[in-house]
Amino acid sequence: MYPGGQIHEVADADVFGLLRSRPQGLTEPEVAARRREVGANRLQPPSRWNWLKSLAKQFLNFFSLLLDVAAAVCFIADTIQPGEGMGVLGWALLGVSVLDALFAFGQEMRAERAMEELRKFLPQQVRVRRGGEEQHVPAEELVPGDVLIVGEGDRIAADARLVESEGALVNNAPLTGESRSQPLRIGPAKGRLIDSPNIIFAGSSVLRGTGTGVVFATGHRTEFGKIAALSRDVRRPLSPLQRETDRMVRVLTVIAVSMGVLFFAYGVTIGRSLWVNVVFMLGIIVANVPEGLLPTFTLALSMASVRMAKKQVLVKELEAVESLGAVHVICTDKTGTLTHNELAITAVIEPLFGEEIADGEAARSLFKAALIASEVRLGAKGSDTEEDRGARAGDPLDVAIADRYAQLFGSPEPILTATRRHFPFDLAKRREAGVFVCGEEVLFAVKGAWESLRPLIGHLAASSREPEIANDESLAMCDEIVRRNAARGHRMIAVASRELAKRPNPDAREESLERGLVLRGFLAFDDPIRAEVPDAVTRCHDAGIQVLMVTGDHPDTARAIAQMCRILPVDEPVEQRILLGAELETLREEQLAQRLRDGATVFARTTPEQKMKIVTALKRLGRVVGMTGDGVNDAPALKAADVGIAMGASGTDVAREAADIVLLDDNFASITAGIEEGRAVLANMQKFTTYVLSSNIPEIVPFLVFIVLPVPLALTVIQILSIDLGTDLLPAIGLGQEPPEPDTMRRSRGQQNQRLLNFRLMATAYLFLGVIQAAWSLFMFFFVLTQGGWQWGQELTERDPLYRAATGMTLATIVLMQIGNVVSRRSLTRSGLARGLLANRILLVGVAFEVIFSWSILYFPPVQSFLKTGPVAWQVYALAWLGIPLIFLADYARKRLLGGVGGMSGACGAW
């Protein structure tokens, strides 16, 4: 579309001609033609063969490799000694490996599709000028030649040559890796394209100011696209949850292989045949490997993310569910998160005596100055209709000023259109300004924080007389006006102006105009807190989670809002718990950490950059930090926090990209709901891990008894797989869907380094629940044998009806006892019945399946044939049902005696 690499060197007047465009923008037919020529404005998708790499990866985890090796041993054994069923076992093990891999692959592809849906749900919109009209279009629809308009907070969607700029400052860190901001200017530039101050690059973001550019590169032709093409296939580091899951897999694999090899060697030592030892080793390995556990993990996180989305918490990464449930501290914004972000002017105050003014010339002058210092985009209509008012866009504070002006004095459009220059809000100065030109009248106006304007004030406006010269006494009165209103929770904005003798030079700096200002008065804004926030904060405190408020407001306003939200107490001195941005700037990291230890809770008059300092200090104290943010400058803090939480409704694209979680309604109460759900997921993962591992012991013990004592093998490998991949799977998934327990948010916070698989969990599963199941199932095995006339030391073939009945009884007993186990696992400290069995439908279906399957093992011919089992008298089957209350009551007694200290409560007690 242009001579390669020369776009930044041409004069502004030649840019449109070079790119076959015009200041009014392209027409729709031109846009359509260029889109057909260059394609959509998106990066080239990954290779279509990447799914094969993902699929292959699933077959290389420890569990899959272990099952594959076991299957290979079965095939070799079947070749050496055919007709013993080892070939069938080999195919069963291989089938398990393949099914596990396919399930994990399916969930990964589902996650990819979910992320694509997320991108559709939060599409990046850009502002362009087409056919002479400004409009918002999806970023993907940009084409070379489009006139692109950017402003503060926008993420740039294509490479463009700048032709207009008002104090524009961009962050090119995504492209250059340098955090230093880049000021922009128009006009030709020499040197490399990447260093040019007249180019805005895709992937970068606008920190402040506005600009207009002409797009010259889109999609993979942008500088960002070229870099992305090189890094597209770079693997991301594993998340903490992924690392912990991998560790659990390795631990269980080592246990399985070690036990298998150890007892294989023992069998060889005591003279057992090679065939018997191979069968024994495979049984030990299969019994120790919980084949259905990993898919259950993935399902639990996936379903939790769906439930959280219904609570207005959109999870971008599944592992963020776990992180959110473990936070120690939440650092929250005030505006829009604790409050509605619906600013309304509650008072207009003149500066001399602090009296409210409703209308009149003084009020008109004040609002006129405030409008000049505002940036409001108007709808197409000039009349001040309801539809027109709804079309106003901009900062909520600026829109509130325009709305009030319209109510009092008519349409604000003449003033806004006559404002020839706007100085955007400066975070460091905490003020913004504008220049109004109408005929001979030239007016400079500024509005912002009173502390920022105070040194610039030369006169104070009076309602009915000439402005008075400002002195220490009158300025002190203004200080008191601001303090008194801020203490009521109002946000105070000072407004000042001065007349200029002539139109200022276009290159004049704001500082040269900010002298001898006349203070026109104060605007008191009220942004009511959300009704649900105080209770949500209380729930966080009950859960051991500290809530910090980080705001740019006046300290008195911040204190009032914090007390209304219950972040600060009302009946205690709180001065030492409020830290100002100016003091924060001077503190070293260790000093800030000490202030946090001493109870610093509210940070007022802070800048977004200082959020990063707060996060770093909190992490220095070993806290798991959740940070909210919505602006471009919040992105570093969102990235640095353990959980970055962006605003979905009001947040910038940059903030949403940097975050792990997006609040769709910008509501703090949604964070609390997400934390509760995250804690429930963590607890549920421990619950179903304990449930699944507890059945390993009754699966292992028969092999140990078989190798040590002259008795038949009480359970076959195929029967073990019917538990691990059959009856255990649905109840485990059901446990993963358990709602939060009533006291979830009243437990102390979790530990950051808590292991998913810890000693207490394994002790509860292996040494308590598993031992009970093993004892009762072996009792039923030997009961059937002795009732059938078996003698100690007598060998039975696997085709013997008595042997088949006995092994079927063992299997049915384990399946039935898992019913009592799964009900007990529903609560950490209570019986599990109190929650109601009908509340969890998946769990109910799982229990029903276990009941039906336990009967089918003994009495349904197709299942009998497949599992090689036989029938028993119904009285014996009824006796096996006593295992359900046995394990349930034993576990309940353990909870009562130990106060819930067990496999899960030790790990989850903080949740």
457-471, 742-756, 789-803: least confident range: 742-756
Question: What does DSSP assign to residue 178?
Answer: -
pLDDT reported for residue 173: 61
Place of tokens 């969930």: 107
Query: Is residue 770 pLDDT above 90, yes or no?
Result: yes
The enclosing H or E element of 280 equals helix 274-288
Query: Is residue 379 pLDDT above 70, yes or no?
Result: no
Q: Quick one: 265 exposed, middle or buried, by C-beta within 10 A (0-12, 13-18, 19+)? A: exposed
465-479, 659-673, 878-892: least confident range: 659-673
Query: Is residue 807 pLDDT above 90, yes or no?
Result: yes
pLDDT in tens, 663-674: 888 788 888 888
Q: What is the pTM of this model?
A: 0.66
pLDDT reported for residue 519: 94
45-54, 117-126, 253-262: least confident range: 117-126
**What whole-number distance in Å separates Cα of residue 36 and Cα of residue 530?**
48
pLDDT reported for residue 773: 96
347-351, 491-495, 632-636, 700-704: least confident range: 632-636
pLDDT reported for residue 227: 62
The arithmetic mean of pLDDT across residues 681-686, rounded, is 83
Residue ranges of the alpha helices (H) in 346-499?
360-372, 386-391, 396-409, 413-418, 450-453, 472-486
Mean pLDDT of the chain: 81
Work out the pLDDT band at 246, boundaries 50, 70, 90. Answer: confident
**What whole-number distance in Å separates Cα of residue 627 and Cα of residue 645?**
6
pLDDT reported for residue 19: 92
Name the residue with higher pLDDT: 693 or 247. 693
pLDDT in tens, 267-286: 888 777 777 777 777 777 77
pLDDT reported for residue 359: 75
Q: Are 446 and 497 in contact (CB under 8 A)?
A: yes
pLDDT in tens, 621-649: 988 899 887 765 577 778 788 888 888 76
Q: From residue 639, how far is each of 563, 602, 606, 633 by CA, in Å?
A: 29, 22, 19, 11
91-105, 195-209, 781-795: least confident range: 91-105
pLDDT reported for residue 530: 86
What is the amino acid identity at position 90? Answer: G
Q: Among residues of the chain, what percentage have pLDDT more than 90?
A: 28
Question: What does DSSP assign to residue 871?
Answer: -
Query: Is residue 857 pLDDT above 90, yes or no?
Result: yes
Query: Is residue 43 pLDDT above 80, yes or no?
Result: no
Query: Is residue 82 pLDDT above 50, yes or no?
Result: yes
Query: Is residue 902 pLDDT above 60, yes or no?
Result: no
Question: What does DSSP assign to residue 381?
Answer: -
364-373, 431-440, 652-661, 717-726: least confident range: 652-661
Sheet holding 661-663, edge to edge: 313-315, 661-663, 643-647, 625-629, 329-332, 546-550, 602-604, 578-580
Work out the pLDDT band at 651, boundaries 50, 70, 90. Answer: low
Q: Of the candidates 166, 142, 103, 705, which has an alpha carbon nearest to the alpha carbon of residue 421?
A: 166
Q: Of the candidates 321, 875, 342, which has an alpha carbon nearest to the alpha carbon of residue 649?
A: 342
pLDDT reported for residue 63: 65
What is the amino acid identity at position 273? Answer: S
98-102, 119-123, 682-686, 707-711: least confident range: 119-123
Place of tokens 């088949």: 804
pLDDT reported for residue 888: 95
Work out the pLDDT band at 911, boundaries 50, 70, 90. Answer: very low
User: What are the strands, taking DSSP E only, across 757-852?
Assistant: none
29-33, 177-181, 353-357: least confident range: 177-181
pLDDT reported for residue 114: 47
pLDDT in tens, 144-201: 999 999 987 788 889 999 999 887 878 776 665 444 567 788 888 888 787 788 999 8
pLDDT reported for residue 180: 52
**What whole-number distance in Å separates Cα of residue 690 and Cα of residue 757?**
9
Question: What does DSSP assign to residue 373?
Answer: T
Q: Strands 393-394 and 376-377: what pairing?
A: antiparallel
Half-sphere CA count of 811, side-chain side, radius 13 A: 35
Tokens of 370: 């405030």
Q: Is 206 helix (H, G, I), strand (E, B) or coil?
A: strand
Query: Is residue 112 pLDDT above 70, yes or no?
Result: no
Angle, helices 86-121/62-80, rounded to nearest 10 degrees: 160
341-345, 610-614, 906-910: least confident range: 906-910
Q: Of the candidates 327, 339, 334, 336, which has an alpha carbon nearest to the alpha carbon of residue 676?
A: 327
For residue 447, report the phi and psi dihedrals to the nearest 5 degrees: -140, 155
pLDDT in tens, 586-601: 999 899 999 999 999 9
Query: Is residue 232 pLDDT above 50, yes or no?
Result: no
Place of tokens 């400004």: 134
Query: Is residue 247 pLDDT above 70, yes or no?
Result: yes
Question: Is the Cα torsion angle 607, 613, 616, 617 positive or negative in sign?
Answer: negative
Query: Is residue 438 pLDDT above 90, yes or no?
Result: no
At residue 679's C-alpha, the angle toward residues 675 and 685, to 5°, is 145
pLDDT reported for residue 884: 96
Query: Is residue 49 pLDDT above 50, yes or no?
Result: yes
Q: Are 579 and 603 in contact (CB under 8 A)?
A: yes
Query: Is residue 238 pLDDT above 60, yes or no?
Result: no
The arithmetic mean of pLDDT across residues 354-381, rounded, is 81
Query: Residue 142, by phi and psi: left (phi above 0), alpha (psi -120 to 50) or beta?
Result: beta
Q: Of the candidates 116, 142, 120, 160, which has an alpha carbon nearest to the alpha carbon of residue 7?
A: 160
pLDDT in tens, 691-711: 988 988 998 899 888 888 889
How far from chain centre, in Å, is Cα 56?
Answer: 28
pLDDT reported for residue 162: 93
Q: Are 147 and 25 in contact (CB under 8 A)?
A: yes
Q: Quick one: 181 exposed, middle or buried, by C-beta within 10 A (0-12, 13-18, 19+)? A: middle
Query: Is residue 46 pLDDT above 80, yes or no?
Result: no
Q: Among residues of the chain, what percentage have pLDDT more than 70?
A: 84
